[in-house]
Chains A and B, each alone.
Chain A
Amino acid sequence: MASGFPSTVAALAAGLERGDFSSVELTEHYLARIRALNPELNCYITVCEDGARAQARAADERRAMGEAGVLTGIPYANKDIFCTAGVRTSCGSRMLDNFVPPYTATAVERLHEAGMVMLGKANMDEFAMGSSNETSFYGPARNPWRPDCVPGGSSGGSAAAVAARLAPAATGTDTGGSIRQPASFCGVSGLKPTYGRVSRWGMIAFASSLDQGGPMALTAEDLALLLGAMSGFDSRDSTSVDCVPEDFSRLLGAPLAGLKLGLPKEFLDGRLAPELGATLEEARRVYESLGAECREISLPNSGLAIPAYYIVASAECSSNLSRYDGVRFGHRCDQPADLLDLYTRSRAEGFGAEVKRRILVGTYALSAGYYEAYYGKAQKLRRLIQRDFQAAFGEVDAILGPTSPSVAFGLGQKTDDPVSMYLADIYTTAVNLAGLPGLSIPAGFVDGLPVGMQLIGNYFDEARLLGIAHRFQQATDWHRRVPALADKV
């Protein structure tokens, strides 16, 4: 970039450490870029200029005292699903347009303890339900590579902000692909960790057995740094996994000779656009040239991931979103006639169409007489999908496949047909159902739009997964491409 600031977290950390620039200067640089480009891209719902400056000053003071860590003074964006004390947390919904949380999510608290500087709250699909950012109450974020295209979703604002260099890193959440798919559409890197790795406390719940927070950035190396800071056991999250803290960067330099990568044949069927298949084939050649052995594997039940996912996710969402009743916080309708009117009208006014659809589907699936046929059946399929992955990891070290069946589509192209939108998550939902870690990194371009590829690892194997991704990024330069629009300022 013309500014002279580097773009990656690792390079910015080195610059801060050397004293090339201060966190205050770096933060002003990003705030200026946000002022210039956010009106067009709509990546941020809320920009925290004053808060960011205060955190940047504190970071510089900490550095002056010799107490800085590697992330101290690095700006970033938080998906607006993470509660931030004193800063409006909308979850992309009219329901929470007025909601200022009295507490901060654990993952965010940890990033701030590391000294990171929050630039603002990133746009997202309403309650993380969507694959295009178009369900946001605040209007869609736009794809920096082509502003008439969607950035993907639900963490679309986070992905677009990183791609447009309106933040060097961002948080996201991934329930069915919501970190990986927008990372793919915007040409950035994104990691969905193993379920239980990152605390869900203070992260507004969508589908609790699937939701997992994770980092988004330009490189796998940066993801490793961010994951190290945001993960770890939290007694306030009942499904947090108590594992020994680890250095996720430790395998970044590991050679790939002898590594076994599996390509699921079910991911390479007719639903994958041919040009994207070619990109994946090229990625396979890169890995082979680095010494990895690639072989075909089978995930026989992966085709059932979408239907099983939409039952599990909708059922859990209908339960989680029952808390929005117009009584304790969030939107309340005017002049309720009685208590029932207060509930039903507050919810009708507060929620958008996609959220309502999922609440209705989930309510139906959980209603008396239907539970076994829907939720029970979906949980059984979930077991089969998990077994498929475990069988695959008996043969290979990691799985390589597409992230999404297409590149970013046009704004409005799929909004009339919810089911066609759901199919954008066809390669990502199985990973959530099984609770595995998965990441997406840039692997090429089609028609000027980025193509991502997905790497899936076994439980708690994030360090190796990041190492495999890092080797690819050392051998290719897709992740270094900058959208023309981002270069204008």
Chain B
Amino acid sequence: MAIGADQVTAIARLARLHIDASEVAGYGAQLSRILDLVAEMDRVDTDGVEPLAHPLEVVARLRPDVVTEPDRRGVLQQGAPAVEDGYYLVPKFIE
């Protein structure tokens, strides 16, 4: 399966990943090759087979609806690139 330049650009946009124009063709070729490998999946008829999402098919556990975590905002924000008054700072995006 061939992935063209437009598709690489579209996928990269969905993935929020900047790709230099010079890299697009290379990624296209590599993705095409990986999808060729993946196409082997079609050799087997899986009609009527129930998908397996999780090996042990565990269901989500429930717990009482009470607060279990203390507020550690200050500690958790120590690794942030930019914070102010407990908020994460990003470039202005609303005029």
Binding site for B on A (CB under 8 A): 98-102, 194-196, 209, 235, 238-239, 241, 301, 303-304, 306-308, 310-311, 318, 322, 325-330, 332, 336-345, 347-348, 351, 356-357, 359-361, 363-365, 367, 374, 376-384, 386, 418-419, 422, 433-436, 459
Contact status A361-B58, CB under 8 Å: no
Name the A residues within 8 Å of B55 (CB-CB). Answer: 195-196, 209, 386, 433-436
Name the A residues within 8 Å of B88 (CB-CB). Answer: 327-328
Residues of chain B from 1 to 36 with CB closer than 8 A to chain A in the complex: 3, 7-8, 11-12, 14-19, 27, 30-31, 33-35
Contact status B78-A102, CB under 8 Å: yes
Name the B residues within 8 Å of A99 (CB-CB). Answer: 79
Residues of chain B from 73 to 95 with CB closer than 8 A to chain A in the complex: 75-82, 88, 90-91, 93
Known: A342-B90, A382-B52. A308 touches B27 (CB 8 A): no
Partner of B38, one of A239, A311, A342, A363: A311
What's the Cα separation between A99 and B78 when bound, in Å? 10
Contact status B79-A196, CB under 8 Å: no
What's the Cα separation between A340 and B50 when bound, in Å? 39
Nearest B residue to A310 via CB reads B38
Contact status A304-B43, CB under 8 Å: yes
Is B39 positioned at the interface, with any CB of A under 8 Å from its CB? yes
B13 → chain A, closest Cβ, in Å?
A: 8
How many interface residues does B have (CB within 8 Å)?
A: 51
Known: A356-B17, A384-B49. A102 touches B76 (CB 8 A): yes
Partner of A336, one of B11, B52, B78, B91: B91
Known: A348-B19, A384-B49. A339 touches B90 (CB 8 A): yes
Name the B residues within 8 Å of A195 (CB-CB). Answer: 54-56
Contact status A337-B52, CB under 8 Å: no
Contact status B38-A307, CB under 8 Å: yes
Name the A residues within 8 Å of B30 (CB-CB). Answer: 357, 418
Contact status A357-B46, CB under 8 Å: no
Is B60 positioned at the interface, with any CB of A under 8 Å from its CB? yes
B21 → chain A, closest Cβ, in Å?
A: 13
30 pairs, A vs B, C-beta closer than 8 Å: A194-B56, A196-B56, A235-B61, A239-B58, A241-B56, A306-B40, A307-B38, A307-B41, A327-B88, A328-B88, A329-B79, A341-B18, A347-B15, A348-B17, A348-B18, A356-B19, A356-B27, A357-B27, A359-B15, A360-B12, A360-B31, A361-B31, A363-B14, A365-B38, A379-B52, A380-B51, A381-B41, A418-B34, A419-B34, A459-B56
What's the Cα separation between A318 and B63 when bound, in Å? 29
Is B44 positioned at the interface, with any CB of A under 8 Å from its CB? yes
What's the Cα separation between A380 and B41 when bound, in Å? 10
Name the B residues within 8 Å of A361 (CB-CB). Answer: 31, 34-35, 38
Name the B residues within 8 Å of A345 (CB-CB). Answer: 18
Q: Knowing that A238-B60, A435-B55 touch, tell me 8 more A-B residue pairs with CB under 8 angstroms.
A: A195-B55, A327-B90, A341-B91, A361-B35, A363-B11, A376-B51, A380-B50, A435-B56
Name the A residues within 8 Å of B91 (CB-CB). Answer: 336-339, 341-342
Is B67 positioned at the interface, with any CB of A under 8 Å from its CB? no
A216 → chain B, closest Cβ, in Å?
A: 22
What's the Cα separation between A379 and B41 when bound, in Å? 11
Is B53 positioned at the interface, with any CB of A under 8 Å from its CB? yes
Contact status A239-B54, CB under 8 Å: yes
A398 → chain B, closest Cβ, in Å?
A: 18
Name the A residues within 8 Å of B76 (CB-CB). Answer: 102
Contact status B52-A383, CB under 8 Å: yes
Contact status B16-A347, CB under 8 Å: yes
Name the A residues within 8 Å of B72 (CB-CB). Answer: 102
Contact status A241-B31, CB under 8 Å: no
B48 → chain A, closest Cβ, in Å?
A: 9
Partner of B46, one of A318, A347, A380: A380
Is B37 positioned at the interface, with any CB of A under 8 Å from its CB? yes
Name the A residues within 8 Å of B52 (CB-CB). Answer: 379-380, 382-383, 386
B76 → chain A, closest Cβ, in Å?
A: 6
Name the B residues within 8 Å of A348 (CB-CB). Answer: 17-19
Partner of B41, one of A304, A327, A340: A304
What's the Cα separation between A460 and B48 when bound, in Å? 29
Nearest A residue to B72 via CB reads A102
What's the Cα separation between A306 and B76 when bound, in Å? 38
A294 → chain B, closest Cβ, in Å?
A: 27
What's the Cα separation between A283 and B41 when bound, in Å? 33
Contact status A311-B51, CB under 8 Å: no
Per CB-CB distance, the 7 closest pairs between chain A and chain B, nearest first, are: A435-B55, A379-B51, A380-B46, A348-B18, A332-B81, A344-B18, A383-B52
Name the A residues within 8 Å of B63 (CB-CB). Answer: 235
What's the Cα separation between A310 and B36 when bound, in Å? 12
What's the Cα separation between A194 and B54 when bound, in Å? 12
What's the Cα separation between A62 and B79 when bound, in Å? 34
Name the A residues within 8 Å of B7 (CB-CB). Answer: 364
Nearest B residue to A384 via CB reads B49
Nearest A residue to B17 via CB reads A347
What's the Cα separation between A345 and B52 when bound, in Å? 36
Nearest A residue to B27 via CB reads A360
Contact status B33-A419, CB under 8 Å: yes
A453 → chain B, closest Cβ, in Å?
A: 23
B59 → chain A, closest Cβ, in Å?
A: 10
What's the Cα separation between A388 and B23 when bound, in Å? 41
